[in-house]
Amino acid sequence: MSVDKDRTEGSAKNMAGKAKEAAGKLTGDQKTQAEGRSQQAEGKAQNTAGSIKDTLRGK
């Protein structure tokens, strides 16, 4: 019983986005902050898609 790879990849993108947003805040770079927030949203969406797939498979 394995977790869908979208959940794993989505979580990784979300964490990377949080780090990127934090780096942008530290340096005052609004573009990097925005990229980090965008990456987080993408990761959350991918994680949700993986959760739905797991639910449909009965995991």
Radius of gyration (Cα) for the chain, nearest Å?
A: 14
Q: What are the distances in angstroms from CA 17 to CA 6, 26, 52?
A: 16, 14, 22
Q: What is the pTM of this model?
A: 0.86
Token output for 35 = 């990229």
Q: Does residue 2 carry a pLDDT above 80?
A: no
Res. 3 pLDDT band, cuts 50 70 90? confident
Cβ(14)–Cβ(44) below 8 Å: yes
3-state secondary structure 6-49: HHHHHHHHHHHHHHHHHHHHHHCCHHHHHHHHHHHHHHHHHHHH
